[in-house]
Structure 1
Amino acid sequence: MNINSIKKAIFFWAALFLFSFSLFNNASAFTTITIMPGKLNTFRISVPHEVVAGRKFKIKIVALDDYGNVITDFAAKYEGLNVGVTIGNYYIEHLNIPASEFKNGVVSFNLSYKKAGKMNLAASFEGISNSSSPIRVSPGPFHDLKIVSPAKVTAGQPFNVKVYAADQYGNPVNFMPKGDIQVYLTGDNFKIRPRVIPSGYIKNGIGKFSFISDRAGISQLNFEAHYDGKSHVFISKNIDIKPSGFDKFLISTNISKVPAGRPFIIKIVSVDRYNNVIGNINKTKGEVKLILISGLGIERSSVFSFKSFHKGVALVKTVFNRVGTFSIYAKPIGLALKKIKEPSKVFKNKIPAKSLLLYK
């Protein structure tokens, strides 16, 4: 190729370039456009599948439009408004998150939940809501022994008690420290006389027992377990052990010998079969016949109402003018005595492994 041919080729391509540039420059224009996210359609909530009660876990909420685009300007678009967050199913907590907390359409925060079981988290805003997948909340480590006992029982009659191992938030756990557990009653008129329960009787964190006490009064059941190198005592709520019903009177005098003609006091106490004082005997319809007997027979008798008793005790002031030794008897009149059910022989003779007899 000679020089002239080269010059012609260069000229041709230069002319073509200038023509093309002129054509596009005159007929077309360039610009840019930004497609913004649409209005809020839903929330995407990311949660862990399993957490431990009371421990913090991370939650992530993303605001999305109708096409699944992240609403990056959510904070600016909805400034001053709150996103409502509902935590839990039965044990529900509420939380308000300002829209301004969303960064590029996303907000992350830590939560903790104390109730074991399955729970969900839901986010709602201006009538739009969505829920997370279920979160399984596992109980924490053993912390306490919960005692479920009746508020009122009757002396001499068995009553049922349920105990369960729990974490620090009261959630049942399937673990119980090894070793025997001592059980005893404390409170009014009670002395510590423990019975022993092998911890193996509390299976899967739950134990059911039957107790019987012959002593009335306000008391508490104590479960004492030894672990971690020391003793731990778990105490029930108050148990009001009522007397079993009227059985007899106990009679005494304020003095064993008294001169003729000098007054003395006869003390009459109403008790049940276990000698527990029946404090409300004054509300019973009927009377008491007081009899004084000597070697010659009945010397004197008198009758007074049960209303004369105060907290189960009646004080009768009397005087004898004749010298001698007398016996004093008291018996109820017009009182329909409630037949007391005999304790089962299984409690009387042999106590089953899960039945405990707590004596006075």
Structure 2
Amino acid sequence: MKFKIKMMFFVILIILSSVSVAFGATRFLIQAPGETYNPGSQKSGTPNPQTAGVPFYVTVYSADDITWQLVSTNGTANLSATQSTTFSPNPATLSLTHGSVTTCKQYVQVTFAQSVNGDVRIDIPTSGGILPTSITITSQQIQSFSFATISSPQTAGNNISYTITALRTGGGVVTSFNGTAAITASYTGLTYTVAVGTAQFVNGVATGNVVLYDATEGSQVVTLTCTSTTPSATGSSNTFAVNANTLDRLLIIGPGQQIDPGKNSGNGRINSSTTTSQQTAGTYFYVTVYACDAYWNTVTSASGTVTLSSSDPNFSATPVTTAFSSGKAYIRVTLGTVGTQTLTATHNGTATSNTDNVPVVAGALHHFSFYQNIAANVTAGSNVYLYIVAQDAYNNTVTSFNSAVTIQVLAGGSPIDANNWSLTPTSPTFSSGLIAGTARVRIFQRLVNVTVRVTYSSITGESNIFNVNPAAFNKIILIAPGETYDPGDTTNGGKFGTPSNQTVGNPFSIVVYATDQYGNQITTINDTVRIESTDANALANGVTLPVRINLSGGTGTFNFIFQTSGVQSITVTDETTAVTPGTVNIQVSAATVHHFEIAGISSPQTAGNTTTMVIRALDAYNNLVTNYNGNVWVTSPDTDWSLPYETTIGLSGTNVELVGHRWHVTFTAGTGQKSVNISFYRSMTYTVKLFVSDNELDTPQSNIGHIGYSDPVLINHGSITKMQVIVPGMTARPGTLDGEDGTPMGQIVGQPFYVTVNACDAWWNIIRSGTGSTDTIQLTTNDNTNA
């Protein structure tokens, strides 16, 4: 048994030593388009030529250079080329696996520069122990695109065949190019091109068809251009003409329209216009009738005649029927009926008829006429309705006139005051050439030889002559200083001007007129009138209101004194005849400052809290003196300390400052009052009042200035906040910043003396009741020997 085992081992050794196993080195391998590589075999095939500027892909492997099996590496390949070339990625890191499959490869995008033409060797040097490799690929540079000759002429709307070849620099076809390129058409004389299709190249050659709908005219020719962006290349065909197709339809082009040829849609006019520009009745214009193919190109060889007709019964044309000349017919047209009229062109052959629309308006505006007279005598203020027609030079109604016009009232040929008449509406507008009673004037002043004039630009018209008579007694008019009596002026109530401002206590005069409703004085009125005012304290002729006076010849005068400032009215009512009373509103100013008022402080207040008060400057009648812009000084005589003086209140706000123990407040003109924030700091067991004066040195006892007081206010202490110790030589001063006055007196060692301890709020007011008023306190000292 042992023998057998040794023999087996021996045999195995012999076998191993008799087999020759070859192992190669690991090398990069590049597989290009056109080549085939299967692991275990060398790659086969020849690299296909590539188009310069067009990206393509190669595959980089790591393989055994004898067995050609893949070798698992994650090596890095640094690619370079003998001519300008870009690689992505570069360097390329090989991927060991792709899913569950061992790949040891990387795809690399390669782009030869567009300038490269000829063989390009791609190299990968040794990297990480992996041996180098290289490959040579031919780069084909496209020099241009070449069109096979396109015959001339071609026909609009028919297929135009093309063959385009991508030519290589140095000659030959760029057989590697299988991309696309845009085809455009350009017409001589035009600044734009027309996109007509895309050429698909196969092995460097593209064939196909394009269609052009726009025919050339005269010497005009077309060029097709083929343009590629990747790579950048271009080329153009020979020039050729495009003829119109066969006669298919007619087209009318009138004023304001343009033909839009070469379209396989639309109506043959730019922007698909269906209407010419507006035309005037009786004024001729020209139209052109075109003989067109199905794409609105002019068929210059068209024969036959065209006849023009219209929906307008007053239509005329010169000529009505005419033959085509080079595919066109020119016709002079006159229309005489207002509205949108149609023109229709008809061929004596097979061409489809065509219709166009023409908006027609009347002739130009020449004048206005009043087609209904105004009555010879008109009562002031009555409605005068206007019936006016806009006419051309031949007295035809210009129905297209729909504009606003200017209306004037004249007396003796001159315009009357604008306030003495009215117009409704203020800017009358014609409708279809008429104002048919939709406008009216009212004249409020007695006048003779009156006319109404209508104007538009420089065009006018004038009514018949008539008179305006006054109306009956209707109202009272008051004339105050600053106003002027103006009969017939209704805008300002029969007068103009603004009542002058009056001052409380100063007398002035008022004039009374008995008038018709438009302010014309009625001299036969001698009625009794009653004088009243919104100022209940006012006086008329020195007597308390109401006061009565008698008019004489429709007028009267009385003196008046206001006692209340503000806007006040005076009203005079006729007690004999029921007419509208007369009223005048007058701005009444207060007199000079007489005293001050402090308002807005409620009671009680808590020491230290802030509230708002208002200081008002008043005249002797308690009117607010709004123009007061002086200074006042505010004190609290009941709470302020003296000897030395020290304030126990605090004021804040604009233009507020503390001067000594008085608070200085400056008014701003325009209001007569000043809002100020106030805080009371000293609590009292009785009510107190604030004192204000415009004299800095004034006191409640001296009264040397204009003074005022607040209502009584009770000031309560706040919550307990701190303790106060008052020793001999010092006194408590509640309501001040430090709460005390004086200097502690010296004491003799061993001799007893008294101190006062106060429980205080934040402003040193003694807490006389409530929390803290009965608390136990502990008194300490820094004298260690104190007993």
**TM-score of the superposed pair, with normalisation by structure 1:** 0.50
| Paired AA for residue 288 in structure 1 | W
Residues 28-79 of structure 1: per-residue CA shift (max 9 Å, x gap): xxxxxxxxxxxxxxxxxx999976424589xxxxxxxxxxxxxxxxxx9634
Amino acid at match of 1:224: T
Residues 34-49 of structure 1: pairs in structure 2 closer than 5 A: none
Q: Deviations over 1:78-127 (max 9, x none)?
A: 34389x9964341577999xxx9xxxxxxxxx997432234433779999
Alpha-carbon contact 2:606-2:680 (below 8 Å) kept: no
- Does the Cα contact within 8 Å between 1:139 and 1:173 map onto a contact in 2? no
Q: Choose 1 or 2 for highest CA Rg.
A: 2
Task: Return 219-228 or 137-146, whichever deviates more.
Answer: 219-228
**Alignment equivalent of 1:286, drawn from 613, 631, 634:** 631
Q: Please say if residues 142 and 175 of structure 1, whose CA atoms lie closer than 8 Å, have aligned partners that are also in contact.
A: no
Alpha-carbon distance, 1:242 to partner: 1.8
| Counterpart residue number, 1:306 | 666
**Which runs of 5 or more residues in structure 2 are unaligned?**
1-372, 385-392, 435-439, 481-498, 648-660, 697-787
Deviation of 1:142 (Å): 0.8
Query: Which segment is superposed worse, 301-310 or 124-133?
Result: 124-133
The reply to whether residue 162 of structure 1 matches residue 522 of structure 2 is no
State the match for 1:330 in structure 2: 692
Please report how far the alpha carbon of residue 288 of structure 1 lies from its aligned counterpart in structure 2 after TM superposition.
2.4
Q: 2:445 aligns with which of 115, 119, 123?
A: 115
The one-letter code of the counterpart of 1:196 is V
Distance 1:306 1:244 in 2: 20
> How big is each residue's C-alpha offset from its partner over 1:236-284, in whole Å with a ceiling of 9 and x where there is no partner?
253222212322213579579x799697987643101221122454xx1
Offset at residue 326 of structure 1 (A):
6.5
Aligned to 1:195: 546
2:453–2:462 contact (8 Å) kept in structure 1? yes
**Where do 1:173-192 residues align within 5 Å?**
173-176=522-525, 178-179=527-528, 181-186=529-534
Report what 1:354 is aligned to.
none
Alignment of 1:107-146 (within 5 A): 113-121=443-451, 137-146=468-477
168 and 77 in structure 1: CA distance in 2 versus 1, 3 angstrom threshold: same
The 5 Å alignment of 1:252-263 reads none
Q: SS at 1:183's partner residue?
A: strand
Change (3 A) 1:130 1:280: closer
Aligned-pair Cα RMSD in Å: 5.7
Distance between the aligned counterparts of 1:85 and 1:253, measured in 2? 60
**Which residue number in structure 2 is paired with residue 249 of structure 1?**
596
- 1:226-245 matches, cutoff 5 A: 226-228=575-577, 234-245=581-592
Name which of 395, 403, 409 aligns with 1:78. Answer: 395
Give me the whole-angstrom Cα distance separating, in 2, the residues matched to 1:267 and 1:178: 50
Equivalent position SS for 2:547 = strand
> Aligned-pair distance for 1:205?
2.9
How far 1:302 moved relative to its partner? 1.5
Higher relative contact order (CA 8 A, sep 6+): 1
Q: Which runs of 5+ in 1 are unaligned?
A: 1-45, 58-75, 101-109, 335-360
Moved more, 259-268 or 315-324: 259-268
Structure number having the greater helix percentage = 1
Cα–Cα, structure 1 residues 199 and 260, in superposed 2: closer, same or farther, change >3 Å? same
Change (3 A) 1:292 1:233: farther
User: Given residue 673 of structure 2, which amino acid in structure 1 is its aligned partner?
Assistant: G
Please say if residues 308 and 314 of structure 1, whose CA atoms lie closer than 8 Å, have aligned partners that are also in contact: no
Of 312-321 and 47-56, the range deviating more from structure 2: 47-56
1:216-235 correspondence to structure 2 within 5 Å: 216-228=565-577, 234-235=581-582
Shift of 1:322: 6.1
**What is the rounded CA distance, in whole Å, between the counterparts of 1:318 and 1:49 in structure 2?**
83
- Residues 117 and 137, structure 1, Cα contact 8 Å, conserved in 2: yes
* Residues 111/195 of structure 1: CA separation in 2 closer, same or farther (3 Å cut): closer
Contact kept? 1:157, 1:213, Cα under 8 Å: yes
How far does residue 331 in structure 1 lie from its aligned partner after superposition?
1.4
1-structure distance, mates of 2:610, 2:462: 85
Measured in 1, the distance between the counterparts of 2:684 and 2:408 equals: 88
- Match of residue 309 from structure 2: none
Mark the CA change 1:255 to 1:113 in structure 2 (over 3 Å): closer, same or farther: closer
CA distance in 1, matches of 2:625, 2:680: 24
Distance 1:321 1:137 in 2: 81
Tell me the secondary structure at the aligned position of residue 238 of structure 1: strand
Q: What pairs with 1:49-128 in structure 2 (closer than 5 Å)? A: 52-54=379-381, 78-80=395-397, 87-88=409-410, 89-90=415-416, 91=418, 113-121=443-451
Q: Matched residue of 1:210: which SS?
A: strand
Residue 112 and residue 328 in structure 1: after superposition, are their counterparts in 2 closer, same or farther (change >3 A)?
Answer: closer
Query: What is the alpha-carbon distance in structure 1 between the residues aligned to residue 396 and residue 560 of structure 2?
Result: 63
CA contact (8 A) 1:184 1:195 kept: yes
Give how far 1:220 is off. 1.8
The 3 A distance-change label for structure 1 pair 241 and 80 is: same
CA distance in 2, matches of 1:147, 1:168: 13
Distance 1:262 1:112, change over 3 A: closer
| Distance change (3 Å), C-alpha of 1:138 and 1:297 | farther
> Which letter maps to 2:530?
Q
Cα distance change on mapping 1:253 and 1:323 into 2, 3 Å: farther
**Residues 49, 304 of structure 1: CA spacing in aligned structure 2 closer, same or farther, 3 A cutoff?**
same
The CA deviation string for residues 270-323 of structure 1, in whole angstroms up to 9 with x for no partner, is 101221122454xx14342436169x9897542231349976255644344566
On the 8 A contact 1:146/1:163 being kept in 2, the answer is yes
- Aligned counterparts of 1:267 and 1:112: Cα–Cα separation in 2: 54
Determine helix, strand or coil for the equivalent of 2:581. Answer: strand
C-alpha distance in 1, partners of 2:608/2:459? 92
Q: Percent identity among equivalent residues?
A: 17
CA distance, structure 1, for counterparts of residue 447 and residue 397 of structure 2: 35
> In the TM superposition, what is the alpha-carbon distance from 1:182 to its structure 2 partner?
1.8
Q: What is the one-letter code of the residue matched to 1:276?
A: N
In structure 2, C-alpha distance between the alignment counterparts of 1:141 and 1:312, rounded to whole Å: 50
